[in-house]
Amino acid sequence: MTTFPDTLGRFGRYGGKFVPETLMAALDELEREYNSAKKAPAFREELERLLKTYVGRPTPIYHAENLTRQLGGAEIYIKREDLAHTGAHKINNALGQALLARRLKKTRIIAETGAGQHGVATATVCAKLGLQCIVYMGEVDIARQASNVYRMKLLGAEVRSVTSGSRTLKDAINETIRDWVANVETSHYIIGSVVGPHPYPVMVRDFQSVIGQEARAQFQGLTGGLPDAAVACVGGGSNAMGLFSGFINDPSVRLIGVEAAGDGVNTPKHAATLTKGRPGVLHGSYSYLLQDENGQVQEAHSISAGLDYPGVGPEHSYLKDAERAQYVAITDEEALQGFDLLARSEGILPALEPAHAIAHLRALARELGRGKKILLLLSGRGDKDLNTVASARGVRL
């Protein structure tokens, strides 16, 4: 499990580098620099120092007693990435890649964002490290994540609206890749998830693996053992890979990824790539993909902008086929119930992305039963989603 990816960037049959030739040299350079940086004490020390003093790591784990009682089954523990600086796990990766960009002597940073959390995290680290920052964001997402757009601007980033295709995350990635092709010699592309061409899926996973490493040690400290299940939401899948990487060699720990079922997996409007897709190539890697019978990529749908993506990281595809991880799907409506559940029981407004994972706890806590333990990754806080939640309920703010 830990030997992947291979030298071609493959996790089993998934992954690879399916990009225009212009980018290939930059990917090779990035891979070399990343491999040298991760062994370089100075790089590691700076990253660890900033994760501690700037991001606020380690983020805590706590026993969610009210939620446990309410669901009446397995004990629920929550890893609080919502408490990281900028309010989500995205900054772990953005910081690592920005430090890497500095080693590459690239001063112009480009990024895509869906929910805006990766855009905010990237804008934040660029402000901190003195790098120029341009964020591509779909027009639809700009409308539903207005406060994050403004946050990025306040942090000095330029937000470029993407009006092609579905005008969401997929198209924002297309446009960022197009920018990168034109500016590859001066720019580094900070991809926000475990997607894209090699080395991004492994690099982003590694930068997010701090979640799983901390969580494993914290959980053992708190309970004296390991969880029976570790649960996280999956759009591209970076928070889930970060968590899973800490437990991948613990066969007793079930790894569960929760996708967005939108209106339902048997409707045309969902984002349940692993549940309903079939393998194909999008954005540089071979992985499960929502596509029609002619190989055209289909538009995803989710109430949560961060899960609204028709692809998924290649390592998730591998873990699914290898049956090391299990993937389930939760509808928009169920996610809203998950949102309420955590808000009322624990006093935490979750982002709509992890609200999908929370919603799955109802079934999972019962299935595992009393005496078992579930570790939930709360990947981000819900402030950004207040408008979406309100409008789903017909409330005007």
Partner 1 sequence: MSTGPIQQAFEDARRRRRTAIAPFLTIGYPTVDASLDAVKAVATAGADLVELGIPFSDPLAEGPTIQMSSHHALGQGVTPAICIASAARLRADGLKIPLVFMGYYNPLMSYGLGRFCDAAAESGVNGLIVADLPTEEAGPLRSAAEKRGLDLIPLLALTSPEPRIAAACRDGRGFVYCVSLLGVTGARAMFSARVRGLVEVVRRHTSLPVAVGFGISTAAHVKETGEFADGVVVGSALIDAMRDGPVESAPERAEAYIRGLALGAARPTGHRGQGS
Residue 397 near partner 1 by CB under 8 A: no
Does position 280 interact with partner 1 (CB under 8 A)? The reply is: yes
Catalytic residue flag (residue 391): no
User: Could you tell me which stretch among 129-137, 232-240, 283-291, 377-385 binds partner 1 (CB under 8 A)?
Assistant: 283-291
Residue 279: is it exposed, middle or buried by C-beta count within 10 angstroms (0-12/13-18/19+)? middle
When binding is defined by CB under 8 A, the residue of 1, 127, 181, 226 that contacts partner 1 is 181
Residue 284 within binding range of partner 1, rule CB under 8 A = yes
> For partner 1, what does the binding mask look like between residues 15 and 34, x meaning CB under 8 A?
-xxxxxxxxxxx--------
Does position 184 interact with partner 1 (CB under 8 A)? The reply is: yes
User: Rounded CA gap, 61 and 378, in Å?
Assistant: 10
What angle (nearest 5°) sits at the alpha carbon of residue 353, between those of residues 349 and 357?
90
Q: Which one of residues 1, 129, 281, 392 is an interface residue with partner 1 (CB under 8 A)?
A: 281
Quote the least distance from Cβ 178 to partner 1, whole Å.
5
Nearer to partner 1, 226 or 281 (CB): 281
- Which of 52, 116, 129 lies closest to 86, judged by CA? 116
- Closer of 172 and 260 to partner 1 (Cβ): 172
Which residues on adjacent β-strands are paired with residue 233?
Answer: 258
> Binding of partner 1 at residue 213 (CB under 8 A)?
no
- Can you tell me the distance from the alpha carbon of 178 to that of 167, in angstroms, rounded to the nearest whole number? 15
**Of 106, 169, 166, which is closest to residue 136 (Cα–Cα)?**
169
The three-class DSSP label of residue 67 is: helix
Q: Which is nearest to 260 in space by CA: 115, 118, 67, 391?
A: 115
**What would the x/- binding string for partner 1 be over residues 309 to 348, using CB under 8 A?**
----------------------------------------
Nearest to 329 by CA among 292, 365, 368, 356: 356
Which are the catalytic amino acids?
90, 112, 379
Please give the residue ranges that form the binding site for partner 1 (CB under 8 A): 8, 16-26, 164-165, 170-171, 174, 177-178, 181-185, 280-284, 289, 291, 293-297
